[in-house]
Chain A
Amino acid sequence: EAGVAQSPRYKIIEKRQSVAFWCNPISGHATLYWYQQILGQGPKLLIQFQNNGVVDDSQLPKDRFSAERLKGVDSTLKIQPAKLEDSAVYLCASSRGLAGPPGHNEQFFGPGTRLTVL
C-alpha cells in the first residue's frame, strides 16, 4: 500500500511571501493531520481533519495559516504571509479514523516538507 505523499519536499521563500503544501493520505484513511516540526523540537499538531471536517485546529495560527480538505482526501496547508519563525518541517499524517480507544488507530507519516523562510 502506498504511503502518505507530500510535495514539495523542500521550499525556500522570502518572508512575507505565500507558500502551499500538499498532502495525499493513504487510501481510505479518514483522519488527516498536519504537524509543524521546528528544528530541535518534537512535532506539534496544527490541525486535524476527520473526512472534510475540522476536529482540532486549536494550535493553528489562523491569522496566517489555513488548511483545507475539500473532498475528504487530499489536503493543502497554506501560509500567507510567511514569517522567519515558520521555518520548519511540515509533516502530514493519516489514520483510518478515530473509532476505538485513543491511539488505537496508528498515524502514518509522510516524509515532510522542509520550509526555509529567508
Chain B
Amino acid sequence: AQSVTQLGSHVSVSEGALVLLRCNYSSSVPPYLFWYVQYPNQGLQLLLKYTTGATLVKGINGFEAEFKKSETSFHLTKPSAHMSDAAEYFCANTGANSKLTFGKGITLSVRP
C-alpha cells in the first residue's frame, strides 16, 4: 500500500528565503511521487513528478524536489520564495494501479 506523510500543517517564510516542504513516503512498490499546489478556491495543479531516472526533478515556478530512496523522502524546495507562492502544497504517490494517495497538505505563507 502507498502513503505519504507531510509533517506539520503550516510553514511561514520571508520573501526571498528558502522554501523547504517535507514529504516522506511509504510504498510496497517503486514509487511514483508528485507535488501539487492549490491556490485558494482553485483546483490542484501539478508542480512536478518523479517516475524513474534522475532523482532531482525540476518543476514549474522554480520548484524542485529530490527523490531519496534511502530516506524515503521527496522534499520540495525553492531557493527564493515569492509572495505568489503562498498556497497549499500536497505531496502524493501512486503505485501500480495509478491511484493517487495524497498527504494532508501544508499551507505555505510568505511574509513581505
Contacts and interface: CB of A to CB of B under 8 A. Distances in A.
Interface of A: 4, 40-45, 48, 56, 91, 93, 98, 101-112
Contacts of B49: 103, 106
Given A42-B92, A111-B42, A111-B43, A102 B104 contact: no
Interface residues of B, number: 25
Given A40-B9, A101-B51, A56 B43 contact: no
Given A103-B49, A109-B43, A40 B98 contact: no
A108 B49 CA distance: 14
A102 B44 contact: no
B70 interface: no
A105 B103 CA distance: 20
Contact of B105 (A42, A48, A111): A42
Q: Is the interface of A mostly helix, strand, loop or mixed?
A: loop
Given A102-B94, A103-B32, A103-B94, A45 B41 contact: no
Interface in B1-51: 9, 32, 34, 41-46, 49, 51
A103 B98 contact: yes
Nearest to B93: A103
A110 B94 CA distance: 20
Contacts of A45: 99-100
Contacts of A107: 46, 100
B97 A4 contact: no
Contacts of A109: 43-45
A4 B44 CA distance: 11
B96 interface: yes
Contacts of B94: 102-103
A95 to B, nearest CB: 9
Give 3 closest A-B pairs by Cβ, nearest first. A42-B102, A109-B43, A103-B32
